[in-house]
Amino acid sequence: MLSVCLTAFASPLLIMAGLGIASGVLLTVAAHIFHVEVDPKVTEVREALPGANCGVCGYAGCDAYAEAVAGGKAEIDRCIPGGAGTANALSKIMGVDAGDMGPAMVARVRCQGDVGLAREKYIYTGIDDCFAAAQIFDGHKACAAGCLGHGTCVAACPFGAIKIVNQIAVIDEEACKSCGRCVQACPKQLIVMVERRQRVMVLCNSDDRGNIVRANCDTGCIGCTRCVRACEYGAISMQGALAVIDYDKCVNCKACVEVCPTHAIRDFDAPPVDREKEAAAKAKAAAAKAAAAKAKVGAAKS
């Protein structure tokens, strides 16, 4: 009786073990039959890439681009995030000239209208996404061209170079690899790629008249043309009511930064303007002026 029970128990185990062994043998044979040799250069190229899988190169990801480069089907300078360093590494692997990668680029947001500076049209309580927010009356910002601050660009950046500060996108230029994914992610087309050497920039994209800009935002370009007159190199012109810098002429003298009354032109070599400190200083100056005027009137009466 015991032997019958053991036999009944062991038989399924033996069958399962046999099937396992047979499957292993079949898989091993199949692996040998269908084995595809991998070009060692593909592995070398892939290891030299930054691994962002951003698609800026025109391929689905780093793996696809590595195969194309190793196969001689793609140029070695297409990896924008990797820059010259990656291009040089690939040139050594492939035995070709790296060539000129062009100027170093960086992404910048053409808006500074954060909380406290830019007015709101209404309170938005919908999906936390810029494209969704922009569907309702061009967004909740009073300025139709303003940054909505829901972080769609943050989610798109594979390098963690963007964060939302006071409801506006802020880019860490040291972390930015100029992949351009944030440019595609912004429904307001506020983010642009510029050369890193461009140290001054008009951070406003509104084409409204000055009085409307003032009503909507404290740091927008009001079209006063002071920057145009201040530039000795003719590098600034007006496109409608918006100042535009011609970087072929700009020498980064920063005269435009000094005369801009709303600080719409930013000097990227200097820290951002401390708005609270500036407001306190203006209030103090106004109070001092009022006190002086009052004292003068009192002196005249006496």
Least confident of 85-94, 118-127, 271-280: 271-280
103-197 and 198-279 share one CATH topology?
A: yes
Structure tokens at 54: 């951003």
The pLDDT tens digits of the residues spanning 257-292 come to: 999 999 999 999 988 766 567 667 767 877 888 888
pLDDT at 73 over 90: no
Closest Cα partner for 183 from 113, 110, 107? Answer: 107
Least confident of 33-42, 144-153, 174-183: 33-42
Cα separation, 50 vs 299, whole angstroms: 73
Q: Is 137 in contact with 207 (CB distance < 8 Å)? A: no
What is the rounded average pLDDT of the residues 40-63? 86
Q: What is the pLDDT of residue 9?
A: 53
Closest Cα partner for 94 from 54, 48, 146, 159? Answer: 48
In this structure, what DSSP letter does residue 162 have? E
Question: What confidence category does residue 13 fall into, taking pLDDT thresholds of 50, 70 and 90?
Answer: low
pLDDT at 145 over 70: yes
CA 115 to chain centre: 20
Q: What is the pLDDT of residue 54?
A: 85
Q: What is the pLDDT of residue 7?
A: 58
Residues pairing with 49 in the sheet: none
Q: What is the pLDDT of residue 258?
A: 96
| The model's pTM | 0.71
pLDDT at 219 over 90: yes
Q: What is the pLDDT of residue 2?
A: 46
Q: What is the pLDDT of residue 95?
A: 83
Domain 40-94: which CATH number of 1.10.15.40, 3.40.50.10130, 3.40.718.10, 3.40.50.970:
1.10.15.40
66 against 235, higher pLDDT: 235
Structure tokens at 266: 């930013």
Q: Is 49 in contact with 74 (CB distance < 8 Å)? A: no
Cα separation, 255 vs 200, whole angstroms: 10
In this structure, what DSSP letter does residue 276 have? H
Domain 198-279: which CATH number of 2.60.40.10, 3.30.70.20, 3.40.50.720, 3.40.640.10:
3.30.70.20
Cα separation, 112 vs 189, whole angstroms: 14
Least confident of 34-48, 64-78, 173-187: 34-48
Residue with tokens 């960086």: 106
Structure tokens at 22: 């047979």
CATH code given to domain 103-197: 3.30.70.20
31 against 39, higher pLDDT: 39
Question: What confidence category does residue 78 fall into, taking pLDDT thresholds of 50, 70 and 90?
Answer: confident
179 against 31, higher pLDDT: 179
pLDDT at 38 over 70: no
What is the rounded average pLDDT of the residues 68-73? 86
pLDDT at 165 over 80: yes
What is the rounded average pLDDT of the residues 16-45? 73
Any idea where the domains of the chain sit in the sequence?
A: 40-94, 103-197, 198-279
Structure tokens at 208: 């409204």
